[in-house]
Amino acid sequence: MKHFDILIIGNGILGTSIAFELTSRDKNLNLAIVGPQQKPGAATIAAGAMLGCFGEVTKTSFKTKHHIDKFNLCHGASTLWDPWLSSIEQCSNDTIPLSEGCFIIRNTQSGVIDDHNYIAIQEALEAYDCEYSICRTSDIPGYHPISTQRAYDSLFIPSEKSLNPNQLLSALNKTLVNANCEFVYHTVIDIKHTEAKTIVTLSNGEKISASNIVISAGSQSQPLIDALGLQKNIPNLFSGVGSAFVAQAENLAIKHIIRTPNRSFACGLHVLPQANNQLYVGATNNVSLFPEHHPRLSLINFVTQCFVEQINQDLHNAKIIKLLTGNRPVSLDTFPLIGKTHKKGVYIASGTYRDGIHQSPSIAKYLADVIFDAGEKEGSLYKAFTPERKLIPTYKHKNEAIGDAVEAYMSGAYEHKLYMPRVGWDKFFEELIRERLNKIYDKLSSKYIISPDFLLMIDEGNEQQVIDILNKCIEEKEGV
Ligand SMILES: Cc1cc2nc3c(=O)[nH]c(=O)nc-3n(C[C@H](O)[C@H](O)[C@H](O)COP(=O)(O)OP(=O)(O)OC[C@H]3O[C@@H](n4cnc5c(N)ncnc54)[C@H](O)[C@@H]3O)c2cc1C
């Protein structure tokens, strides 16, 4: 049986970045990375990907100490990207192009959620003294929405960036080839842990062992956590299914990110320029019990329509060259799971939900510190997101969560073109939604108030079955 010092399970951005950091620190490390070559359902290859923290701010980003810690980690990650990319480029001999600058637009195609989150972004930019400018929407290169959907506000953040995650992954993989890392193109289907080593069984029946393992299999980390018997100590992982597409057109004028603030349950409409006159357009987000691998017609229809109406109507003839579906790893309390477990040599890096690519350099550095027992880990904010923990509260009262959920549902309805039959009826619709959500929250365990992000899962599945699963996940946690 082959044995490794470190076995990384999962070959998305986290597994690959951690492997890069570890092999950069110790050239003689005997390391392998396991994961299927095509990465079906991986979040990383379905992302745009935006690198930034301010564009992602919402009205809840600074709500509790944990929210603030999470924001500060993302803010800190922004400063790591330039040196991080230089060292990947140097080790791989690849060039990874970046698009610089992000326009945030505010239009009326969603509900009040856009206003709340747009204002929160501006307040965060001020509070963190980040350079930005208010701009005229007519000055945004390549922005030409239909007249009735034009934005009435926009700001430009020069420091927010984007890159193509496939180029990043490809360069990282080259660095790992150069570092003699072994690639195992299978999945891990079982894990047995002992004090001395961990033995994993691969999908082809082979077994390999390692002194240390890192579980970084994205939303598919849960079965591995279960196999280790750690599910009672760690917030469960779900899939935030996202759909997006890549389009191509002649002489694209879009030169920077153009995005809305985060919208109901999702990451907002965002358009990112890529090489070869291509554009990434995303993205939806439906939290689900299981990962999905294929885009849903209705969701692609929604994103394409939002794009041509709200961003650039001239691009209605652009060619769709790729449809993308990926599963964001989202934990039951929505916070990341990063660090060691009480089982010797078992580490976890997952639960990054919407910003795992942006955070990848800082997570890789932190985990390498933990594995090598280096000093930097001590003061790290990631300690608050250690995998074995109580569920981190996001709401104190269920009415607060219901209030946010009503706002998200109403805003989502407007995004899907709800037209009120009479002036003043929005209150009436809000009350109907509130009534339904009250019933759902009454059936959910009162030990922990789940985030509204999980409600679509209840809508789309067998209601009682999903509620039972969520309640089991909450109830089995020690001391929630
Ligand atoms: C549509 C969309 C848009 C997004 N936009 C952004 C963005 O703009 N900026 C940003 O920072 N983040 C964004 N995200 C979030 C980001 O993509 C994720 O947080 C991040 O990619 C998670 O990386 P990961 O390596 O943990 O998981 P993944 O990328 O899912 O990778 C996990 C890997 O593990 C493999 N695997 C699964 N099970 C096993 C097993 N049993 N054994 C071995 N291997 C296994 C899978 O094949 C996969 O390759 C977006 C996500 C989506 C879906």
Question: Distance from the CA of 176 to the center of ligand 1, in angstroms?
Answer: 19
What length is written for the chain?
A: 480
Percentage of the chain lying above the pLDDT 90 cut: 96
Q: Is the CB of 361 under 6 A from ligand 1?
A: no
Question: What is the spatial distance between Cα 105 and Cα 310, in angstroms, rounded to a whole number?
Answer: 10
Residue 480 has pLDDT above 80, yes or no: no
pLDDT tens digits, 66-83: 999 999 999 999 999 999
Q: Is the CB of 142 under 6 A from ligand 1?
A: no
pLDDT tens digits, 170-216: 999 999 999 999 999 999 999 999 999 999 999 999 999 999 999 99
Q: Is the CB of 473 under 6 A from ligand 1?
A: no
Percentage of the chain lying above the pLDDT 70 cut: 99
- Atom 18 in ligand 1: residue holding the nearest Cα: 356
Question: Distance from the CA of 12 to the center of ligand 1, in angstroms?
Answer: 5
- What is the pTM assigned to this prediction? 0.97
pLDDT tens digits, 239-277: 999 999 999 999 899 999 999 999 998 789 999 999 999
Residue 448 has pLDDT above 80, yes or no: yes
Question: Distance from the CA of 219 to the center of ligand 1, in angstroms?
Answer: 7
Q: What is the reported pLDDT for 415?
A: 95
Q: What is the reported pLDDT for 119?
A: 98
Q: What is the reported pLDDT for 34?
A: 98
At CB < 8 A and 24+ separation, what contacts does 423-427 make? Answer: none
pLDDT class of 167 with cuts at 50, 70, 90? very high
Q: Which atom number of ligand 1 is nearest to the Cα of residue 324?
A: 1
Question: What is the spatial distance between Cα 411 and Cα 76, in angstroms, rounded to a whole number?
Answer: 31
State the Cα angle at 228 between 222 and 229, rounded to 5°: 90
Average pLDDT over residues 28-51: 97
pLDDT class of 478 with cuts at 50, 70, 90? low
Q: What is the reported pLDDT for 246?
A: 98
Q: What is the reported pLDDT for 479?
A: 59
pLDDT tens digits, 431-440: 999 999 999 9
Q: Which atom number of ligand 1 is nearest to the Cα of residue 359?
A: 11
**Three-state DSSP class for residue 221:** helix
pLDDT tens digits, 359-384: 999 999 999 999 999 888 888 999 99
State the Cα angle at 18 between 339 and 219, rounded to 5°: 65
Per DSSP, the residues of 72-137 read HHHHHHHHHHHHHHHHHHHHH-----EEEEEEEEE-SSS-HHHHHHHHHHHHHHHHTT---EE--G
How many Cα atoms occupy the beta-carbon half-sphere of 434 within 13 Å? 12
